Chain A
């Protein structure tokens, strides 16, 4: 017997989702209006599409430069994180019976409890002294800081992979590196997806780390640009919202196509 649709709950859920969508509708509506139309009503449907808000925002904020910076940081962080963090986790996971490796595991994971502000002030001095107050330094920090969480996620997963698979490859003459790249890494695809999604969301949306680390405004990421140009936007909210939308758009577009996959990946990372 099929259960009937629960309409009261459907309505409750629908109303709640309106609360989620309204701020986004407002953003689109403002970004497409001109100041007079905005003054009349922020909530009304935009009738004339003022695309010039977007072209102007691209110009004012040098959007493509910030987009390029954010993309470079996100892509390199993603690639290095997947390649290195999984490798470190493999080394740890297969040697958990050895004291050194077990302690290293706890060392990495306990860093999850350390709030960033305690490192914030010294790391600013340290990165600028080392000449790492730029894109490369930021990528390095994301890859290194990500290890705390990622090693936790990877080790749990790798330990569930039967060791017999590796033993077979070892007997076939595979080196430890060969075992990892040829046998283990391909098996990590589902958990790589999880780590990859979490890493991308973090690197793309993060504001605090770029704010304190980057010294050259030409390196600014998309969120940082929105902050830097607040004064320049001034009272021109149409311009500001066009800029906000463009900064959020890439993630939203990816999400529209891959939402099932993204939600599944994030859940898996949290439940591990």
Chain B
């Protein structure tokens, strides 16, 4: 600080020159700032925004992704989307999956986080164990669970004569989605537990002591003290878990390939298979646009509703 003062004093000898050079320097400074951000913005436009616009553009054509020529068909793809049973089924599956995943991931994560926050032995070890799934490849975890469901559990069922375990649930059209749900929960809880835990650590300890002196039980303590403090974490965890579940892809590839039949075909999996291999480039582009609008609407809706709840508490 002292040396700055000295330099400032030196400059004061010629105020006119200073103003001039200062202006020049300001321009140079702004130039540098522009150089920092403009190329990045252009790259981002070229590889993110531009493809998104292209996707919207193609959604109004009948391009199959291979031929050189295509025609404009207006809203035909969009109208057909609403008539297409494969598309409808993929939305129903994905929503069902996301709702169950969002709720279960949050309940389990919060329960485990409260446990980890209690006075327990080996807390750091357990914290490290619970976070471990977050660093693993989703695809490979999917392959591992694939084997667990198709081979290990049925074998155990036969060995110990437990009827309901003998079936490979991934091969059952009614149960396959539960297999994917289990893998998703196994892996997604890791991140949410750690977030809840860091939220719980911000709850002042004195509040619990004071309330237990007032005769509040554990359940009341949770709803009156803990939950209001961690409400922002509930918001972010719910939004994140639902968003990830709505985008489910790797687990589908690793476990069911969208089957049996098409019962576990998620929206992103349908866009991938139909758009790149199925010759439905334009049709699935329209699907992508609708998908984008849906995810956007759900995220905004969740943030609004959950944040309002935070305010009310």
Contact = CB atoms under 8 A, between A and B. Distances in A.
Nearest to A252: B135
Which of A26, A204, A259: most chain B Cβ within 10 A? A259
Contacts of A188: none
B311 interface: no
A87 B118 CA distance: 42
Contacts of A104: 37, 41
Given A23-B148, A26-B152, A43-B152, A101 B136 contact: no
Interface string A1-43: 0011110011011101101110110110010000000000011
Interface in A99-140: 101, 104, 107-108, 111, 113-126, 140
B33 A94 contact: yes
Contacts of B191: 266, 270
A251 B135 contact: yes
B44 A144 contact: yes
B137 A247 contact: yes
A255 interface: yes
A90 B36 contact: yes
B136 A144 contact: no
A194 to B, nearest CB: 13
Contacts of A126: 47, 50-51, 54
A17 B58 CA distance: 48
A222 B143 CA distance: 14
Interface stretch (A48-56, A59-67, A71-79, A205-213): A205-213
A266 B156 CA distance: 38
A175 interface: yes
Contacts of B310: none
Interface in B183-204: 186, 191, 194-195, 198
B144 interface: yes
B207 interface: no
A157 interface: no
A13 B115 contact: yes
A20 B143 CA distance: 16
Nearest to B8: A171
B139 interface: yes
Which of B112, B136, B186, B236: most chain A Cβ within 10 A? B136
Interface stretch (B80-88, B167-175, B282-290): B282-290
Contacts of B33: 91, 94-95, 101, 176
B52 interface: yes
A42 B151 contact: yes
A158 to B, nearest CB: 12
Contact of A23 (B29, B119, B144): B144
A6 B55 contact: no
B133 A20 contact: yes
A19 B276 CA distance: 37
B58 A121 contact: yes
A263 B145 contact: no
B143 A244 contact: yes
B140 interface: yes
A13 B116 contact: yes
B194 A263 contact: yes
Contacts of A212: 272, 276
B48 to A, nearest CB: 6
Contact of A9 (B115, B133, B141, B194): B115
B222 to A, nearest CB: 14
Nearest to A22: B148
A117 B281 CA distance: 12
A222 B131 contact: no
Contact of A223 (B28, B139, B147): B139
Which of B131, B186, B281: most chain A Cβ within 10 A? B131
A23 B186 contact: yes
A4 to B, nearest CB: 7
A244 B140 contact: yes
B242 to A, nearest CB: 12
Nearest to B5: A171
A47 interface: no
Contacts of A91: 32-34, 36-37
A121 B291 CA distance: 14
Contacts of A14: 126
A207 B250 contact: yes
B52 A119 contact: yes
Interface string A151-175: 0000000000000000110011001
Contact of A267 (B47, B119, B195): B195
A113 B33 CA distance: 27
B186 A4 contact: no
3 tightest A-B CB contacts, nearest first: A91-B36, A176-B32, A118-B288
Given A122-B51, A171-B7, 4 more contacts: A6-B120, A101-B33, A115-B291, A241-B147
27 contacts: A13-B115, A20-B132, A23-B141, A23-B145, A23-B148, A24-B132, A43-B156, A88-B36, A90-B36, A91-B37, A107-B44, A117-B268, A119-B48, A119-B52, A120-B272, A120-B275, A126-B47, A147-B44, A167-B4, A171-B7, A223-B137, A226-B137, A226-B139, A226-B143, A244-B144, A266-B191, A271-B198
